[in-house]
Amino acid sequence: MIQLRRYLWRAVMVPTVGLLFVLVALDALFGFIYELEWLSANYQAWQAFLYVMTISPRVFVQFMPMAILLGTLLGLGLLANSSELTVIRAAGVSTMRICWMVMRPALFLLLLSTLAGEYVAPYTEQVAQSNRALAESGGAALKSKYGYWHREGEDFIHINAVQPNGVLYGVTRYRYDDQDHLLESVFVKRAIYQGDHWFLEDISGSRVDGNRIDAYKEPTGTWNTSLTPEVLSVVILKPEHLALSKLKKYADYLADQGLEAGEYLLAFWQKLLQPLATLGMVLVATSFVFGPLREVTMGLRMTAGIATGLLFHYGQQFFGQLSLVFDTSPLWAAAVPALISVLAGVIMLQRSR
């Protein structure tokens, strides 16, 4: 039985890892071609290549569920075509036992994906975005076409580039009163976080006093705010690219500021339930091989797997956007596709036995 477990491990792991690298490589190729459209005197092909390579951990995490689904179909399909699955079942190994053996490499890959998504991908994504913004600006933060907006109370803040070491470039802050009248606009060339405040360099701004506007410039200054580097590392990334811990923490921060946090809560629950949904798709893939697709070509199996993966992906997006539009529970919006995936896999596997 140990030899059988190892054999099935290899049969599923090898095609899954191979497909994962193919998917990541293709995404990197198309991503690099897309970046070439934005080349300029400051942003050259080498910077574009570095950007694409730096975001590869995020792409690795993004494609893992699809790779597991297709790898399981491909690995078991090859065994079915060579009649090895028939021999294994004739030896007294049940379908559910085979399914559990197939899930072991999937669980291992999901663990790797979870660790990468929690500790590696968010950091490299922030580095990539920051380096691209700085390269685009050529060192002049004002010229960067990339940037991030954030609201804190009555202050609206725009930041051109955020580095992971607590350094900001091109900070513009607009301060309003309770009647939404502009009181002050400030531009800071660079800000460095020092313990509990930001140290500002090269400050220029304007204060509005009735019908009068007073312009001023200061070489240095300080900025006391709850906007820490940890919070900013969340602001500059899309919710689906963030770590689970930061998603929940930032959702609480938005709630404290009286802002809408539904998008971040939805991303939190989707990422938390992603392993369950992926295991459900493994059940579906296994049931395909033992059930309706056991005597078809490998190309048709792969087509069915791709269609299943896309159906789940767009179904998840549909329920998620629906919850945001109608202000329903993000938990249920994330849980419904995952539960449907698991139930469909269990039912189809039971029928194929």
Please answer whether residues 191 and 200 qualify as being in contact, where contact means their C-beta atoms are separated by less than 8 angstroms.
yes
| Rounded-to-integer distance, Cα 111 and Cα 131, Å | 29
pLDDT for 199 equals 94
Among 82-86, 146-150, 269-273, 305-309, which is the least confidently predicted range?
146-150
Residue positions counted in the chain: 353
Confidence of residue 91 (pLDDT cuts 50, 70, 90): confident
| Residue among 223, 252, 251, 243 at smallest CA distance from 159 | 223
pLDDT for 142 equals 47
Confidence of residue 63 (pLDDT cuts 50, 70, 90): very high
Judge whether residue 139 has pLDDT over 70.
Answer: no
Q: What b/e readout covers 321-348, taking b as 16+ CB neighbours within 10 angstroms?
A: eebeeeeeebbebbbbbbebbbebbbeb
Taking residues 99-125, what's their average pLDDT?
91
pLDDT for 50 equals 94
For residue 319, the SS3 value is helix
Q: Mind listing the pLDDT tens digit for each residue in 77-86?
A: 888 888 888 7
Backbone φ and ψ for 139, nearest 5 degrees, come out as 95, -10
Strand order in the sheet with 148-152: 148-152, 155-163, 167-176, 182-194, 197-209, 212-223
Q: Mind listing the pLDDT tens digit for each residue in 225-239?
A: 878 888 787 777 888
Which one has a higher pLDDT value, 30 or 76?
30
The structure tokens listed for 307 are: 């269609």
pTM of the model: 0.81
